[in-house]
Amino acid sequence: MAKELGVAVLGTGWVAGEHIKAFQKNPHTEVVAMLSRDKARAEARAAEFNLAGCRAYTDLDELLKDERVRIVSVCTPHQLHAPQGIAAASSGRHVVVEKPIALDEASLVALDAAVRSAGVKSVVSFVLRWNPLVETIKTMLADELVGDLYYAEVDYMHDIGPWYSGYEWIIQKRYGGNCLLTGGCHAVDALRYFVGQEAVEVFCYSNTSPKNHLKFGYDPNALTLVKFDGGLIGKVGCSLEAMMPYAFPIVLLGDRGAIRNNQFVTKRWPGQTGWATVPTVLPDTAEVSHHPFVGQMNHFVDCILNDKESHCNVADAVKTHRICMAAEVSAREGKPVRL
C-alpha cells in the first residue's frame, strides 16, 4: 500500500543517498521520484535503494506534475537550491532544502517568500541540530545548568580537497559562495541555536593560506564575531583548508558554569572540582553517513502531519545565512555590518 507522503529527491550524490535512507525509515514516506541531468544515473540510484515504483526525471517541471509527490528534497549543487526550492514550494510541495539554501540575498528572500506564500512546511538541512551532543547541550541550557550565557563560540575546521567528489565546483566562487556558506554555516547555525538571541552585528576577517594549496576561488578561512541583541558575543572560526582531522569544537560560557564539547562544569553541583563528561555522539566527522538525517526527516514528517512549523525551517535559516553573507561583506570592507 502506498504511503501517504510521496517524496521526490533532487540529485543523486552522497547527501541524496542519506535523504533516501532517512525517508525509507519513516513509516509515512516513500521515495517515488528522483531528478538528475542523467536519467540513467537516477534510475541506477533508485535500483540501488530498491525503490520500486520510483520514476526518474531529468526535468523538474515534469517531476512536479507527478501527483504522488508531496515532499521535495533538494540535494543538488548549491546554486540550484533556491530556484528548485522556489519551484517546489510554488507547486504546493513541502520542501527539504540542503544548505546553503541560497548564495545571495535576492535568492534568499525569494525562497523565503515562496515558502510563506504557498503555506507549505519546510526544513533546512542544518542536520547537526539533531546530533546527540547538540540535543544534550540544548537540554542543559534549558535546565539552566550553566546559567545565562554571555559568550559562545562554535568552529568548523575541515580539509576540503580533491578527495571530495564536489571539490572541482565547490572551490569556485559562483558555486561555493564563501567559506561560511560552503560549510561553516553549520557552526553559525549551531551558535544561533545555542544562544537563542537575534544577531545584530557581524565583523569578520578572512584569508587564504600563503600558497592557496587547495586553489580556492574565495577566502577559505574566516574569523567571524557576532553581537546579539541580548548582549551576548559569539565567535565562529572556519577553515576549509585545515590540514587536520575535521573538528567542530564548542565553548559556551554562562554565569553559573561552562560547556566545552561534551564536558561541563556547573556551580549547581557543590564541590565539583573538574570537568564532568557526557558520553554521547559528537559532531566530530564530516562523513555524511554520520549525520542524523533520520532525526531530521522524522521531525519534518511530524511537522507536516501535525501542522507545526519546524524550528529549522526556511524562515529561521534565513537568519543564519544573513550572518554568513554579512561576514563576507565585513571582511571585504573592513568594518562591522549591522543586520
Residue in 64, 151, 86, 43 with CA at minimum distance from that of residue 314: 86
Q: Whole-angstrom Cα distance, residue 88 to residue 229?
A: 34
Q: Is the pLDDT of residue 3 over 90?
A: no
What tens digit of pLDDT does each residue of 208-239 get? 999 999 999 999 999 999 999 999 999 999 99
Q: Which residue has the cell 546553503?
A: 100
Quick check: bond before 100 cis, omega within 30?
Answer: yes
CA angle 309, 313, 316 (to 5 degrees): 110
How much is the pLDDT for 68? Answer: 97
Give residue 327's pLDDT band: very low, low, confident or very high (50, 70, 90).
Answer: very high
Q: For residues 68 and 95, is the Cβ–Cβ distance under 8 A?
A: no
Q: What is the mean pLDDT of residues 168-196?
A: 96
Q: Is the pLDDT of residue 109 over 70?
A: yes
Grid coordinates given for 57:
526525471
pTM above the 0.95 mark? yes
One fold for both 5-127+294-313 and 129-287+319-338? no
Q: Whole-angstrom Cα distance, residue 35 to residue 55?
A: 9
- CA 107 from chain centre, in angstroms, equals 17
Q: Whole-angstrom Cα distance, residue 118 to residue 92?
A: 6
3-class SS letters over 183-226:
HHHHHHHHHHHHHCCCEEEEEEEEECCCCCCCCCCCCCEEEEEE
What tens digit of pLDDT does each residue of 69-86 get? 999 999 999 999 999 999
Tell me the pLDDT of the chain averaged across its residues: 96
Grid coordinates given for 126:
542544518
Residues facing residue 157 across a β-bridge: 239, 247
How much is the pLDDT for 172? Answer: 95
Maximum pairwise Cα distance, the chain: 65
Whole-number percent of the chain with pLDDT over 70 = 99
Domain definitions of the chain by residue range? 5-127+294-313, 129-287+319-338
Give residue 287's pLDDT band: very low, low, confident or very high (50, 70, 90).
Answer: confident
How much is the pLDDT for 166? Answer: 86
Q: What is the mean pLDDT of residues 190-204?
A: 98
Grid coordinates given for 264:
561541563
323's CB contacts (< 8 A; 6+ apart) are 180, 188, 192, 199, 202, 224, 226, 339
Q: Is the pLDDT of residue 289 over 90?
A: no
Q: What CATH number matches the domain at 129-287+319-338, 2.40.70.10, 3.40.50.720, 2.40.10.10, 3.30.360.10? A: 3.30.360.10
Q: What CATH number matches the domain at 5-127+294-313, 3.50.50.60, 3.30.470.20, 3.30.420.10, 3.40.50.720? A: 3.40.50.720
Q: For residues 200 and 228, is the Cβ–Cβ distance under 8 A?
A: yes
- CA 137 from chain centre, in angstroms, equals 18
Tell me the one-letter amino acid at 279: P
Give residue 1's pLDDT band: very low, low, confident or very high (50, 70, 90).
Answer: low
Helix (H, G, I), strand (E, B) or coil at 329: helix
What tens digit of pLDDT does each residue of 26-85 get? 999 999 999 999 999 999 999 999 999 999 999 999 999 999 999 999 999 999 999 999
What tens digit of pLDDT does each residue of 123-180 get? 999 999 999 999 999 999 999 999 999 999 999 999 998 988 889 999 999 999 999 9
Q: Is the pLDDT of residue 207 over 90?
A: yes
Give residue 2's pLDDT band: very low, low, confident or very high (50, 70, 90).
Answer: low
